[in-house]
């Protein structure tokens, strides 16, 4: 079974996961926090996050992270991989 059909987000308004504006302030921050709260309860959060990180830049909240947070995860993974390869 595809992990996406088990996501709790399917029971929510899709707009919740696509806040428009600055994520760090006002109503957008509240909306982002609400979306992340759904993700934290979701049984497929890890699969969702893995997909979003692998897919590259995708808008919205996926796997409990914002696009900026996933970008940071990808940069961190690249640095670790580079350090590991340099040590070998």
Question: Which residues participate in the annotated binding site?
Answer: 9, 39, 42, 48
What is the token pair recorded at 64?
A: 């409990």
Annotated binding site for [4Fe-4S] cluster: 9, 39, 42, 48
Greatest pairwise CA separation for the chain in angstroms: 48
Rounded to an integer, what distance in angstroms lies between the CA atom of residue 50 and that of residue 2?
Answer: 14
Q: CB of 42 within 8 A of CB of 61?
A: no
Those residues whose C-beta lies under 8 Å from the C-beta of residue 40, and which sit 6 or more positions away, are 64
């Amino acid at each position: 079974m595809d992990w996406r059909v088990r996501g709790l987000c399917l029971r929510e308004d899709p707009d919740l996961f696509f806040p428009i504006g600055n994520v760090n302030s006002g109503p957008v921050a509240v909306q982002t926090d609400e979306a992340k709260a759904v993700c934290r309860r979701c049984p497929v959060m890890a699969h969702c996050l893995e997909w979003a990180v692998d897919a590259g830049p995708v808008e919205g909240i996926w796997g409990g992270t914002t696009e900026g947070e996933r970008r940071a995860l990808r940069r961190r993974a690249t640095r670790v991989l580079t350090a590991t390869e340099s040590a070998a």
